[in-house]
Structure formats: structure tokens, C-alpha cells
């Protein structure tokens, strides 16, 4: 940018704009913090969001923070004032989602103008009220968010050219929003949280248009979002490329916000401070999100980080984003107070043409020449034209990629052909280029003689491109109108040396037209001179027509004069025109181009449209040919053309071609396949895949190729992506290569299966980025990878409400649902979706993925909401493993069980280490108890009420009920999936052999125990009438109706973030008030009689191994007896179930009902055993005793309660508060001290 670009622009502001500029010169000013954070902390309900006006609105409104400007204006006003009172100079309006595009998800798009105007009024009112009390003027910023759509990335992996919104639709949405903000009285407009620069350009386009036509200009701030350590936006741009792309709007402030904490943002805000003459603005998050989506950084920590930014001269405005509150802003304001603000550089790019693709490009005197690749031109390349006309756009993309690989620094795109719809072709091809990072990393040049095609192209590009071209041939009015539009899009412009009289052929005419154009652009439109590129017309020489012989000379002379007389302007030209008369004779043409370019560069030519890579070095050209070229270019010989023609004809057909190197093709087929995937090359993947398929000794099955080199390649891609060395478009392209390979292998896989009716897919998965989130990088990659592995993927895109996810899953008969999200609020939405899946009785697994998700959050927050498998997927490379395990009928149970156990451990560890956990009162917990509809439930009366005794039970009956997994756990033998369960553990590489040995020893001892009757097994079951009374279960006699015992219950009190109930065992028994007769069961069993004798025998032999073995087997037999008795109770004694379940199903609790034990999570008080012993006379009937510490003797004993209700479930009471302890002591006629002693580990407070 020239020296006049920003600093001079500041002087143009009047009123509040001038006031802000003056203040920014004096001190670091302070922005407010997170509006969303403050709203979330209020925990508003759906009714709060609806208010009175929208109480009958057809769609849910919770989460639509912007609507609160209408329904809860006082809340928004208070939030604004709290930030201002904390020291903020600026507050942003509550309009982050204030476009019709974003509001359409809530059915409130018709309210966008009103929302924005009211939001502006509230922000301004807060500023005025605080100014009145403090005497300090404050400013209202109109916040303009990114919307939930993206112009640069396709929501469809299969259709990379597809976009779910157009530039015009976005610009219109931004226009309505901006008009509302301006009418509401904001002082500043800020386009913020820019993850896709193309979206922000639509916003800036709309703003500039309104300023030109309807409103007085006010300052504009621009803030981007760098999503990770790669230093790129979500759409792939580097920080500096982003700055270049938006600087045409001449923002007063330019900076970064969101996604990163201050520490992570430091290098990128420093990069911006060095790359712009604008003031800088920085408002990071309160650190990075933790595993549960919250923020751990304190206000003091954040203030300390930002203070160092200020001390190093990086800041002009500072504030906070997600996770920050007024306390943060106060700390930040205090920390930067008195620190000198950053002094923006002057004349930073006074003689530099700045361009950008995904990466920046600076064209200055230090760059000798810029190659503009010419082969993506339907008029200049027959191959490219043929591909485009035949609809082979993806193959045409390879032409562009090759141009860049061969040295093109800018890529020229031209779709001018009478048989093409140029606008559609340009749009489609540019969108495809956006999917190819090796191409779109460089700036583009939109080339057309049809300005409508140029405009169509401009609407597709996020970077700063070149427009080629406009001219004065239609007069000044047309010229200025087109130039103004190009400027609004933020592009540089090529001006051809044409005017109303036609094309300039002489030096004087070229200079005259270019000078006139320059004056019009700079003086009438304030066009940046560095963004003006003149093409003085390279015309064809050596045609045989004498007047053409001097065309090269006139170009060179005009170039010198233009560069000397028009400061900042650049010179370009289409090199192929020069040698057009020698078409088909590539050696001659390329030599002519090289010689001409040598002289043109020395004359001041900055760039040219060339076939990059096909230019020989000047000194390497054969002397005869070099001299002939010099002669025709400088018109030294009237016969020069004839001599060059004779030379060309002498070459015959032996034309050389420069081609890209394919050295990697010399590697093994495994290495070639990996290389193709990593580099995204699909040219050879079919032939390489076939070669691999034929190597049956290495790859016996086609699946082995997928699981081998193809997945190896994708793993490398995943690693590079995770380390920030690759970004979205590259990953997607690599996955498409894999899909091509898998698609080729698929018929062979199907024929190998021998199943004529085999399904075409391994399974169906519905993927969706949850409501409120527009990010879908991970989801798209997962979709591609799964698709490549023959899964049918139904991608619902972004911002998907739960009802659509569930409805689609049902309609598509999905096997799995996968949820994705990047931003923190998505975590809550995932919890909601899980809860809705449970409420709707869904049975399919739920996969969770995305940047803010984690195994811990999934285990603690999401999994408990859904009774079916809920699994966190770390990255795309893991998705296939997870899906294949879930779709494998044999492996499914083991895999799901392993995940469940792992997540249970994660939950337990989390809650045990949780430092600060809040608890609800006992009264509140009871108010939120499990709500069972007892009115329509008829309890089953047991077939045998009272006590049933089992003595000397046949041990051989118990063998099939033994669960061997806990047995191996005793010996610390744990197989890894898929060999973790019995008997698969014997196949485990690490523990299988030892597990088999121990198991065989166990069988030997078991046979001895049964044969010699070394152990006796006794048990008792009691089934009694009962009802619940609050948290207790009252047991009474069937005949006398007298109360015979009370089982006291404990209720969960740890605060829950969702509406799930606070459980107590009494919830599963019909209440006394309902008048329904319900029942409770209980049992006590032991297989330990004789264990001491067995152990004593081995003690004399000092045989510790068999002592442990005997105790472990006694425990297993006791548990097996408990399992068999529970089955007998369900099917015979109580008779409420007619189940037909395998033993493995029993171990996995697939039956109705539960048997929780006293002293365990559902009732942690061991004292409840006393009531069981009394009611069933346990010691009398079974000889099982209770010790003073309420342990059972023999040790191999089990006791518990039976609940039959279909909704009964296991749960953990967790920690309880003092109010419940006091209540529990009173109900059970015990002292508080006694309860606290017995329940020490369950207390939420210190004694």
C-alpha cells in the first residue's frame, strides 16, 4: 500500500472517526470481552429467549443470542455496561449472528434489520449512560460476524466446486445487517472472527457500497481468526495473505480474535503488526479450551500475556473474546494502562504490489519478474479448452497445478469461448481451484474480455487477485464504473492500452492511453497506484507485414516511459502474442519469448503471461537461433523474418518438451501409492493399485491394499495435517485419490466375497456439524475417508439441528450417527443431540469428533445422556477403525464393552480429581427426581412371596454362569481389543499364553472342588410387598400389612449441567401416595464355605499361587450363583420376564431389572445390609455372617436388592452434602457422626 493508504485515510474522518484516531495515537484503547460468555453464564431458558413476543414462534430460539436484543434488552444493556464499567472503551453490539443467513436457522431472518438496529441502540445507550457517570466518551461497535456459511470451501466433499451460498446472497445479508447497525447509531463497524476471507470480502463489499450510496463513512475495523498453530485461517490463508486480502477496505484497525489464547496468538498478531499501516486490534480467547470446552486461563494470566504484547509495541486496541468477562477486561485495561501504543509504520509498502492466494506475494523492485501462467486459457491452450468443453474440469485442474509446479507465480484463468457459458465455467473452475492448495496458494488473474465473467470470478476468490482487464475503449464512464467495482472487490487491475479509437500500436499512443487511465484511476477513484498494471500490448512480430516489425520495439520503449512517468504502476503483457506467427514451432517460439523477455525486463516489464517452465535460459539458446531472435525483435534486418522461418523449417518435427519430473515413479508400488496419496496425484493410482492387486503374495486380498499402503498414505496425511503442515484442501484431495483407488478395488472385493446379494456398502453413517457451528473440516475429512472405505456417508453439512439429524438417520436407516463441531457451544449441542437420541429410543452408536471435543468430555458429558455406544473419534484416521469395529457383529460387543469400561474409568477419575464441584440442595434434588408414570404401570406380583432358601446348591449348575473376565483381572491379565473378552483373550499376543495357562489351572482346581465337594454354596432370596416414601423403601408383611423394615436411600446431589434426573433407588418403586402395590427383592449368596480349609492346605505348602486361585474361584462361583439366582427370580420366583438370554448377555446386563449392592455406588452405606439380614434371616438360613465392620463372612459372598421396573438402572450416588447427611441420619435413627464415619468417602465436605 502507498503512504496515502491508511494514515492519510485517518485524516479524512470527521467527528467520532477523527476522535478515535487521535486517541489511538495517545494510548492503547480497550475493547470489551465475550458477549456469548456472559449470556451463557446466565443460563437462560427457552422461555427467556422467546419472551412474550415470540412465545408461539414455530422454531426453538434458545441459543439465538441476537434475539435477546428484542426479548431481553435489559440483560444485554447490563452486559454492555458491565464491560464499560470494567474499563472498556468500546463495546460490540450483540449481533455476531445478525444476518439473515445465520438467523434463518431460527426462522427469524425477517427480523435482522430490527435486531441490528435495536442492538446498536442498546450498545449506544450503554455508552451514553456510562459516559454520563464517568465523563469518559465510549464507543459502540457494530459487530458483523462470519455467518454460518463459507464461500471458499465446499460443504460437499464429493462436489468440491459446490457452494451453499453465493457472494451476492452474503453481500445482501450483510447489507441489511449493516444498514440496521448504522441506523441504530454505531460509531464503528467491525467485520470479525473471519475464518473465510471471502466471506469478509462480501461484508466489506456491502459496507463500502452503503458508504458510497447512503451513509457517511465511519471507521471500519477488521479482525481475522487464525485457527491453529499453522498460522492459517480455516480457509487456508496465512496471516499475511489475509492482511493483504482485506486491506483494500482501508480499515482503521486490523487484527485477530478468537480460536487462540494470547500466548498462541502472539506470533500472528506480531505478523499483522509488521504487515499493516492500520492500527492493530487483538482480542484473544481466555486461553485454549480445556477438555470440557471451558477456559482455564485466569484474568491475571491473560492480562500478563497481553501486557507483554503492549510492551513490545504490538497493540493499539486490546480486549477479550471467548471465555472473557468484565473481570478479564478490568485486568487487561489495568495491565496496559500507561504503556505507549504501537506506532503504525509509514510508507510500509510505498512501492510494492501486494497480491495473495493462500500465501502472500509482494512484487517489488527486489523481484526481477513474475511469471503469470498462461495455459488455463481456453483461447490459448487447445488441451485446456478441450477439457473444459468436455466438462472435465478436475482434469483441467491438473493443467493449473502443472503451471504452478513449473514456476508460475500467478495463474491466469480465461473462459472466453463462444461455445461456453463463461460465467458458469469461470465460477466452477475457480471453486475447484479453491480445493487444490498447490494451485490456490498463488494469486490468480481473472482474464476475460467480458466484464460479467470477471465479476463472476471475483466473487469466488478469497485472496487478492488481478483483473485482466479493463480499458477506455467504451469511454471514461464505463472505465470508471468497472474500475470502481474492481476496487470494491479488492483486486489489482490490468489496464489495456485501448481507448475509444482502438488499440495503441505506437509508443506515443501506448503512453498516452496509459497516462490518461492512470490519472482517472488515481485522481477520481483514489485507486492505489501500486494496484495498477498496464499492458501496453505485446503484438505479433515477424508476420511478413513490414509495419509489424517494430511492435516489439514500441512495447519496450513504452514500458520505459510508463515506468518513469507513472509512479507505482506495473507493466505486464501476454508473451505468446509476440510469436504467434510461428505457432506449432515451439523451439523457435520459446526462444523468441526468452530473448524478448530478457530485454523487456531490462526495460521495466514486471510480469508477463507465459507458459512457465517452457522458457529456455537466454545464455543457453543456440547461437544461430539467438541471433535470429535478436534480429527480429530489434528489427535489424528486413529479411530477418525469412531467415527465422528458414531456421524453423530446418528443425522439422523434432520439438522438445519440458515435462515435470516423475522420479518418484521409480519406487516400489507401496511407495508409489503412498506418494500419490500424500501429494494428491491421481494420474497413476489406478495402474499402481492394479499392480498391487496382482501381487497376491504381498496383498492376498484387495482389502489388504486398503489397510496397507493406502491407509499408510492417509496416516501420513493425517500426521501432516495435525502438525499444521497440511491444511484442508490438501487433505481432501488426498482422500479423493484414495477413493479412486478404493473404487477400483471394490468390484474385486465384492467378487471375492462370493455373495451375489452383497450390500454395496459396509454401512451407512450420517455426519453433521451440529447446530450453531459452521466448521466442518474434520467432518469432511472423516466423510471422505469413510467413503473411501466403502461406507455410505450422508453428510448433512453444518448448522444441523438435532431433529434433522435424527430424522435423517431414521429415514436413511443409518448404522451410526457422527457429530462434529469446532466451537465450544457445539459441545452443549452434542449433549442435547445425545439426550434427544435417548428420548427417541434410538439404538445406533453415536460418534463424536471435532477440535474442541475430547474423550474426557465425551465420557463425562455426552455418553451418560445416551444408553447406547457413544464414542469419541480422535481424528479421521481413527474413524475407519471405529466404524469397522461397530459394524463387525463379532467384534461389536467386545469393542463397545471396552469403550464403556474405559469411559467409566475416565468419568471416575474426573469426578475424583474434580476440585470445585457444586451441589444442589437435597430439596432441589428431590424436586428433580426420576419421573416415572406410575398411573399406567402395573407392578408384577411375585409368584412366590417371602423367603426362598437354597442350601448346598449344585456347583456344577454355576459353571456356565461364571464371568471369567474379573478372574483374569485378578491376575492382571488384560487382553487388548479385539482379544479382551473370554475366550478371545487366549489369542492376545501379550497375555494370551499366560491367560491360557492360568485358565487351565483354574479348570483343574474347579474339577477338584466339584468332584470332592470342597466348597459349599448357600443362598437366600426374599420377595416382599413394598412402596417408596420419599428416598426410602418401606417393606411390609403381605398378610398383616405391618411394616417389617425400611431400606434407606441416598440421592444424587452433584449438580448436573443437563436436565437429567437426580436418582435414588427409591425412584424405582411405586410411591406410597399412588396406592399401587409394588414389590422389592433381596438376596444373599455365598460360595465361600470351605475356602479357608482349601487355603490352609496350600499355606502349609507355601503355595501362594493356589491360595489366590482358590479365593478367586470362590469369588467367581459366588458371583455366578448371584447371576443364576437373579435369572431364576426374573423368570420363576418373581416371574416378570420371559427372557431367553445367553450367559454373555447376562454378564452384559441385557435383562430387565437391576441388583445393586449396599456399600456400592447406588447405595454406598454398608449399614443397609443389616436390614437385609433381618428381613430374610440371612445368617439362620445361609450361615453368612456380618462382621463388626459389616463385611460378609465368608468373603466370597454377595448380597443386594432386586428391582424389576423397566426404568431401573445402575447409577452412582456420588458425593453428598451435609443437608442430606443430616436428613439421612434423622430418617435412619442414627447420629450424624455415625453417618459421616460410614460415608466418609462419599462426603462432599470435610469433617
Count H helices and E strands in the chain, helices first. Answer: 47, 33
76 closest CA partner among 29, 133, 143, 147 = 143
Strand partners, 872: 848
- Strand 220-224 to strand 188-194: parallel, antiparallel, or no bridges (unpaired)? parallel
For residue 70, the 8-state DSSP code is H
Give exposure, 54-87, as e/b (b: 16+ Cβ within 10 Å).
beebeebbebbbbbbbbbbbebbbebbbbbbbbb
For residue 54, the 8-state DSSP code is T
The beta-strand segments (E) located in 961-1077 are 1016-1029, 1032-1036, 1043-1047
Catalytic-role residue among 599, 775, 857, 1166: 775
Q: Are 677 and 714 in contact (CB under 8 A)?
A: yes
Active-site residue flag, 936: no
CB atoms within 10 A of CB 110: 10
Active-site residue flag, 606: no
* CA–CA distance, 852 with 288 (Å, rounded to integer): 9
CB atoms within 10 A of CB 481: 13
Q: Are 211 and 243 in contact (CB under 8 A)?
A: no
φ, ψ dihedrals at 10, nearest 5°: -60, -35
Tell me which H or E stretch contains 1087.
strand 1078-1089
Helix (H, G, I), strand (E, B) or coil at 396: helix
**Cis peptide bond N-terminal to 469, omega within 30:** yes
Active-site residue flag, 832: no
- State the Cα angle at 481 between 378 and 475, rounded to 5°: 85
Strand partners, 285: 261
- State the Cα angle at 25 between 21 and 29, rounded to 5°: 80
- Strand 1032-1036 to strand 1043-1047: parallel, antiparallel, or no bridges (unpaired)? antiparallel
- State the Cα angle at 148 between 144 and 151, rounded to 5°: 90
DSSP per-residue letters across 1214-1233: --B-HHHHHHHHHHTT--HH
Tell me which H or E stretch contains 817.
strand 816-820
Distance of alpha carbon 970 from the chain centroid: 42
Catalytic-role residue among 773, 815, 828, 1115: 773
1054 closest CA partner among 867, 925, 1231 = 925
DSSP per-residue letters across 883-945: HHHHH-TTTHHHHHHHHHHHHHHHHHHHHHH-S---B--HHHHHHT------TT--PPPPSS-
φ, ψ dihedrals at 134, nearest 5°: -115, -20
Strand partners, 257: 283
Q: Are 385 and 425 in contact (CB under 8 A)?
A: no
Residues in CB range of 1144: below 8 A, 6 or more apart: 893
CB atoms within 10 A of CB 924: 12
Ramachandran assignment for 189, one of left (phi > 0), alpha (psi -120 to 50 degrees), beta (any other): beta
Catalytic-role residue among 826, 1162, 1228, 1242: 826
For residue 266, the 8-state DSSP code is H
Q: Are 342 and 280 in contact (CB under 8 A)?
A: yes
Burial status of residue 637 (CB atoms within 10 A of its CB: 0-12, 13-18, 19 or more): middle
Residues marked active site are found at: 773, 775, 826
Amino acid at each position: 500500500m502507498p503512504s496515502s493508504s491508511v494514515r492519510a485515510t485517518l485524516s479524512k474522518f470527521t467527528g467520532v472517526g477523527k476522535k478515535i484516531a487521535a486517541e489511538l495515537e495517545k494510548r492503547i484503547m480497550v475493547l470489551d470481552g465475550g458477549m456469548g460468555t456472559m449470556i451463557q453464564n446466565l443460563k437462560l431458558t427457552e422461555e427467556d429467549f422467546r419472551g412474550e413476543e415470540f412465545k408461539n414462534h414455530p422454531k426453538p430460539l434458545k441459543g439465538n443470542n441476537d434475539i435477546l436484543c428484542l426479548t431481553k434488552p435489559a440483560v444485554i444493556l447490563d452486559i454492555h455496561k458491565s464491560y464499560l464499567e470494567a474499563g472498556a472503551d468500546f463495546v460490540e453490539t450483540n449481533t455476531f449472528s445478525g444476518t439473515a443467513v445465520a438467523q434463518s436457522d431460527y426462522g427469524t431472518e425477517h427480523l435482522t434489520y430490527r435486531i441490528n438496529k435495536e442492538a446498536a441502540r442498546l450498545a449506544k445507550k450503554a455508552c451514553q449512560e456510562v459516559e454520563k457517570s464517568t465523563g469518559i466518551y465510549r464507543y459502540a461497535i457494530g459487530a458483523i460476524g462470519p455467518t454460518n456459511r463459507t464461500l471458499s470451501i465446499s460443504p460437499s466433499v464429493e462436489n468440491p466446486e459446490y457452494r451453499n451460498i453465493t457472494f451476492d446472497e452474503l453481500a445482501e445479508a450483510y447489507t441489511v445487517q449493516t444498514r440496521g447497525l448504522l441506523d441504530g447509531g454505531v460509531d464503528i463497524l467491525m467485520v470479525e472472527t473471519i475464518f473465510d476471507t471471502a466471506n469478509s470480502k462480501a461484508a466489506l463489499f456491502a459496507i463500502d457500497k452503503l458508504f458510497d450510496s447512503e451513509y457517511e463513512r465511519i471507521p471500519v475495523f477488521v479482525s481475522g481468526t487464525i485457527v491453529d498453530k499453522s498460522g492459517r485461517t480455516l480457509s487456508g490463508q496465512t496471516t499475511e495473505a489475509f492482511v493483504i486480502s482485506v486491506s483494500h477496505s482501508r480499515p482503521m484497525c486490523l487484527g485477530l480474535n478468537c480460536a487462540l489464547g494470547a500466548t498462541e496468538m502472539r506470533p500472528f498478531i506480531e505478523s499483522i503488526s509488521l504487515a499493516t499501516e492500520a492500527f492493530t486490534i487483538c482480542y484473544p480467547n481466555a486461553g485454549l479450551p480445556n477438555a470440557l470446552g471451558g477456559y482455564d486461563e485466569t484474568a491475571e494470566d491473560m492480562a500478563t500475556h497481553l501486557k507483554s504484547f503492549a510492551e513490545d509495541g504490538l497493540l493499539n486496541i486490546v480486549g477479550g473474546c471467548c471465555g472473557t468477562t468484565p473481570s478479564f477486561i478490568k485486568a487487561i485495561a489495568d495491565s496496559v494502562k500507561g504503556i505507549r501504543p504501537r506506532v503504525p509504520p509509514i510508507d510500509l509498502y510505498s512501492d510494492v504490489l501486494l497480491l495473495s492466494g493462500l500465501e502472500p506475494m509482494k512484487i517489488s523492485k527486489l523481484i526481477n519478474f513474475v511469471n503469470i501462467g498462461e495455459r488455463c486459457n481456453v483461447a490459448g491452450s487447445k488441451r485446456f479448452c478441450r477439457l473444459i468443453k468436455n466438462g472435465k474440469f478436475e482434469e483441467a485442474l491438473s493443467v493449473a497445478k502443472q503451471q504452478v509446479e513449473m514456476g508460475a507465480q500467478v495463474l491466469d484463468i480465461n473462459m472466453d469461448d463462444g461455445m461456453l457459458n463463461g460465467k458458469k465455467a469461470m465460477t466452477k473452475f475457480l471453486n475447484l481451484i479453491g480445493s487444490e492448495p498447490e494451485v490456490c496458494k498463488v494469486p490468480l488473474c481473472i482474464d476475460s474480455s467480458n466484464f460479467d465473467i470477471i465479476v463472476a470470478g471475483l466473487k469466488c476468490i478469497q485472496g487478492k487477485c488481478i483483473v485482466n482487464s479493463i480499458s477506455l475503449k467504451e469511454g471514461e464512464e464505463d472505465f470508471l464504473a468497472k474500475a470502481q467495482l474492481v476496487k470494491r472487490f479488492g483486486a489489482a487491475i490490468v489496464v489495456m492500452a485501448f481507448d475509444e479509437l482502438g488499440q495503441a500500436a505506437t509508443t506515443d499512443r501506448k503512453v498516452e492511453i496509459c497516462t490518461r487511465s492512470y490519472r482517472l484511476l488515481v485522481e477520481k477513484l483514489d485507486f492505489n497506484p501500486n494496484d495498477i498494471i498496464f499492458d501496453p500490448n505485446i503484438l505479433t512480430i515477424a508476420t511478413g507485414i513490414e509495419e509489424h516489425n517494430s511492435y516489439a520495439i514500441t512495447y519496450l520503449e513504452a514500458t520505459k516511459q510508463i515506468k518513469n512517468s507513472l509512479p507505482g504502476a506495473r507493466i505486464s503483457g501476454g508473451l505468446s502474442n509476440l510469436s504467434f506467427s510461428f505457432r506449432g514451432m515451439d523451439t523457435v517460439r520459446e526462444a523468441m519469448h526468452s530473448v524478448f523477455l530478457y530485454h523487456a525486463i531490462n526495460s521495466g516489464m514486471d510480469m508477463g503471461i507465459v507458459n512457465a517452465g517452457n522458457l529456455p535460459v537466454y545464455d543457453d539458446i543456440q547461437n544461430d537461433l539467438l541471433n535470429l531472435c535478436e534480429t527480429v525483435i530489434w528489427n535489424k534486418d528486413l529479411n530477418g523474418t525469412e531467415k527465422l522461418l528458414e531456421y524453423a523449417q530446418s528443425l522439422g518435427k523434432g520439438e522438445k518438451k519440458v515435462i515435470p519430473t516423475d522420479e518418484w515413479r521409480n519406487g516400489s508400488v507401496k511407495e508409489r501409492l503412498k506418494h500419490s496419496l500424500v501429494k494428491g496425484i491421481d494420474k497413476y493410482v489406478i495402474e499402481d493399485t492394479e499392480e498391487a492387486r496382482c501381487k497376491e503374495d504381498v496383498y492376498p486380498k484387495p482389502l489388504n491394499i486398503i489397510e496397507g499402503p493406502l491407509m499408510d498414505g492417509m496416516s501420513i496425511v493425517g500426521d501432516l495435517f495435525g502438525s499444521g503442515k497440511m491444511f484442508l484442501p490438501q487433505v481432501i484431495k488426498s482422500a479423493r485419490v484414495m477413493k479412486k483407488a478404493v473404487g477400483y478395488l471394490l468390484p474385486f472385493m465384492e467378487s471375492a466375497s462370493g455373495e451375489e446379494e452383497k450390500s454395496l456398502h459396509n454401512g451407512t453413517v450420517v455426519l453433521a456439524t451440529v447446530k450453531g457451528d459452521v466448521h466442518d473440516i474434520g467432518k469432511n475429512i472423516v466423510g471422505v475417508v469413510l467413503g473411501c472405505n466403502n461406507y455410505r456417508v450422508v453428510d448433512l453439512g453444518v448448522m444441523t439441528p438435532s431433529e434433522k439429524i435424527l430424522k435423517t438417520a431414521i429415514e436413511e436407516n443409518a448404522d451410526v450417527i457422527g457429530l462434529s463441531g469446532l466451537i465450544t457451544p457445539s459441545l452443549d449441542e452434542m449433549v442435547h443431540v445425545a439426550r434427544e437420541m435417548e428420548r427417541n429410543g434410538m439404538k445406533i452408536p453415536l460418534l463424536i469428533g471435532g477440535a474442541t471435543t475430547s474423550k474426557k468430555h465425551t465420557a463425562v458429558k455426552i455418553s451418560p445422556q445416551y444408553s447406547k455406544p457413544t464414542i469419541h473419534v480422535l481424528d479421521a484416521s481413527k474413524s475407519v477403525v471405529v466404524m469397522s469395529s461397530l459394524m463387525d457383529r463379532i467384534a461389536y460387543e467386545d469393542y463397545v464393552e471396552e469403550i464403556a469400561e474405559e469411559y467409566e474409568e475416565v468419568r471416575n477419575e474426573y469426578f475424583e480429581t474434580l476440585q470445585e464441584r457444586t451441589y444442589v440442595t437435597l430439596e432441589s434434588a428431590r424436586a428433580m427426581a426420576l419421573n416415572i408414570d406410575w398411573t399406567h404401570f402395573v407392578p408384577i406380583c411375585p409368584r412366590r412371596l417371602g423367603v426362598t432358601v437354597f442350601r448346598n446348591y449344585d456347583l456344577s449348575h454355576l459353571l456356565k454362569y461364571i464371568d471369567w473376565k474379573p478372574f483374569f483381572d485378578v491376575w492382571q491379565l488384560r487382553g487388548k481389543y479385539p482379544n479382551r473378552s473370554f475366550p478371545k483373550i487366549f489369542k492376545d499376543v501379550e497375555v494370551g499364553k499366560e491367560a491360557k495357562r492360568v485358565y487351565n489351572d483354574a479348570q483343574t482346581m474347579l474339577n477338584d472342588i466339584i468332584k470332592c465337594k470342597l466348597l459349599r454354596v448357600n443362598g437366600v432370596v426374599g420377595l416382599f410387598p413394598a412402596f417408596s416414601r420419599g428416598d426410602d423403601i418401606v417393606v411390609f408383611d403381605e398378610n398383616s400389612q405391618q411394616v417389617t423394615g425400611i431400606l434407606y436411600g441416598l440421592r444424587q446431589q452433584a449438580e448436573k449441567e443437563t436436565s437429567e434426573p437426580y436418582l435414588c433407588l427409591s425412584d424405582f418403586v411405586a410411591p406410597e401416595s399412588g396406592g399401587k402395590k409394588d414389590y422389592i427383592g433381596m438376596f444373599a449368596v455365598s460360595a465361600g464355605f470351605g475356602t479357608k480349609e482349601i487355603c490352609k492346605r496350600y499355606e502349609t505348602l507355601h503355595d501362594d499361587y493356589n491360595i489366590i486361585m482358590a479365593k478367586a474361584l470362590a469369588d467367581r462361583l459366588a458371583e455366578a450363583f448371584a447371576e443364576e439366582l437373579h435369572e431364576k427370580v426374573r423368570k420363576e420366583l418373581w416371574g416378570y420376564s420371559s427372557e431367553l438370554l445367553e450367559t454373555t448377555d447376562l454378564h452384559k446386563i441385557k435383562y430387565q431389572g437391576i441388583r445393586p449392592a449396599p456399600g456400592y455406588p447406588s447405595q454406598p452405606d454398608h449399614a443397609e445390609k443389616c436390614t437385609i439380614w433381618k428381613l430374610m434371616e440371612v445368617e439362620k438360613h445361609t450361615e453368612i455372617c456380618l462382621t463388626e465392620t459389616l463385611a460378609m463372612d465368608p468373603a466370597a459372598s454377595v448380597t443386594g436388592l432386586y428391582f424389576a421396573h423397566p426404568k431401573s438402572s445402575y447409577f452412582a450416588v456420588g458425593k453428598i452434602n451435609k443437608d442430606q447427611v443430616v436428613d439421612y441420619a434423622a430418617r435412619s435413627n442414627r447420629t450424624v457422626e455415625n453417618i459421616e464415619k460410614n460415608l466418609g468417602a462419599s462426603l462432599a465436605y470435610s469433617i
